[in-house]
Amino acid sequence: MAASDTGNAEDLVLEMVDAQRARVREIARRIAPGLTDDDLLQPHDHAALASHPEFQFEDGILAGYLAVLAALRASR
């Protein structure tokens, strides 16, 4: 992948990460309305999130996007 392709891919993945973070935040706040953004950094500390399959699924997608972003950055 050329350097310019990597930059374009990184921009796309960053958009995906932002959208997925918003989705995870929305789901988390529906499940446990009082949670803050800091709480979402450690979702397993909150039983309602840790045991909720929809949250776990969406959080896993976010983790995957973050892994792709790290790989793109490491490939430069």
Q: How far apart are the C-alpha atoms of 2 and 22, rounded to whole Å?
A: 30
pTM: 0.86
Q: How far apart are the C-alpha atoms of 72 and 39, rounded to whole Å?
A: 28
Query: Is residue 73 exposed (0-12), middle (13-18) or buried (19+ Cβ within 10 Å)?
Result: exposed
Q: How does pLDDT run along the chain (76 residues), one tens digit per residue? A: 555 666 799 999 999 999 999 999 999 999 999 999 899 899 999 999 999 999 999 999 999 999 999 999 999 8
